[in-house]
Chains A and B, each alone.
Chain A
Amino acid sequence: MWRRPEWRLLAALLSAALLLVPGRAMPQLEPPELSHRLTPLATPEVAGGFVLEDMDGEQHALQDYRGKVVLINFWATWCPPCVREMPSLERLYQELSDEPFVVLAVNQWENADHVFAFMGQIDVFPSFPILFDPDSEVSEAFGVKGLPTSFLLDRSGRVVYRAVGGREFDHPEILQQIRALLDE
């Protein structure tokens, strides 16, 4: 009901305007230091499948990435730690560009217009796929309670690590965890 085209445009405009609100109106939601540890799950299970569209309307099925290590990052533009960890996700993606590894940034509730407007405001434009989960069905299936939340899947599609809250994804500790999965 509230996702008609005019709302998409209005949302994009308001989002851009929000980024330009004078400092005094903005709460200081600057988060503390990002963590750099992923939690291993006691009983890894194969992740539920999904098919989501990217910024260009192309469809991505999780199943298509079987055989790769997949980092699924649930995020939104309004979420400060999501924004803060985004450059480290890009650095990680670049660092492992020659490896069977992919980052899927699954945006919550927003749309391509909104995210595109937002991307113009940050330093790093991600080169990994940004997917849209407009009704939060996928995040719900993954049991996400807050943003950002990330899951690391091994090459068999099993969820082996989880991270609640922002991370410095190119930190050596996390790189080591991912490389170990790539070597399996």
Chain B
Amino acid sequence: MASVLETSVWRRLVLCLVLVGGFSGAGGEVVHRLNSETGLSSWKAQHEGFSLELIQVLPDYVRAVYASRGLPAEVIERVAGYCVFGTIVRNESDAPLAWRLADWRYIAADGHERRLKPKSEWVREWRELGVAFRWTLLADDQVYEVGDWGQGFITLKLPPGEVFDLHYSWSQHDKTYRGIISQARCAPVDVAAP
């Protein structure tokens, strides 16, 4: 318990420093945007040669996406029960880079570090339910050549509206770079009831 508190206090201290500086992680700038039309937020972390953007996705939108693929209710509700973000990852550098979702972590209010549920786990679950679908989710890992980029859903086991810090990383030239998007927030159940 004490360590959790310490972690939480330490995290808040780091967060304060981040907010004061307006920067997050390894030299990256994080910009938060609120879309006035949709009422949904997005966070874009911009590093030199690498960017990561998280876009809130409402649970009902998740349901609509999977229902329109003809997937069964069990599949739909399992995904909609997660905190889902549309995610865009880009290589904006002049050399290949790689990232691995298994290396990313998120920390919510309880201070525990958790991993994101990877696409391969979802695909395995869906296969057990007789569904061969393997799209819409961000890949487990990718190597991006110059100009490559991609997008897909990422899933965090958090309730709607929950605040968390995302710790992400990528590698280039045998070096690992890290960044943090602090105080990101899961989409609410509905934009009318945040």
Interface string of A163-184 (1 = CB under 8 A from B): 1111100000000000000000
CB of B88 within 8 A of CB of A109, answer no
Given known contacts A3-B70, A11-B70, A14-B68, A32 and B88 CB-to-CB distance under 8 angstroms: yes
Bound-state CA distance A155–B40 (Å) is 47
Residues of A with C-beta under 8 A to B141: 145
Does chain A have a CB within 8 A of B139? Answer: yes
Asked if B30 is at the interface of the complex by the 8 Å CB criterion, the answer is no
Q: With the chains together, A130 CA to B132 CA distance in Å?
A: 21
B130: A residues at CB distance < 8 A: 1-2
Contacts of B42 in A (CB 8 A): 28
Report the minimal beta-carbon distance from A143 to chain B, rounded to whole angstroms.
Answer: 11
Is the C-beta of B114 less than 8 angstroms from some C-beta in chain A? no
Question: A4: shortest Cβ distance to chain B, in Å?
Answer: 9
Closest-by-CB residue of B relative to A12 is: B68
User: Is the pair A31, B70 in contact by a Cβ cutoff of 8 Å?
Assistant: no
Q: Which 9 A-B pairs have the closest CB atoms?
A: A165-B149, A35-B147, A39-B145, A145-B139, A37-B147, A14-B68, A164-B148, A7-B70, A146-B150
Q: Which residues of B contact A (CB under 8 A)?
A: 35, 37-40, 42, 51, 53, 55-58, 60-61, 64-65, 67-72, 86, 88, 90, 130-136, 138-142, 144-152, 187, 191
Interface on A for B, CB 8 Å cutoff? 1-3, 7-8, 10-11, 14-15, 17-18, 21, 23-29, 31-32, 35-37, 39, 76, 78-81, 108-110, 135-136, 145-147, 162-167
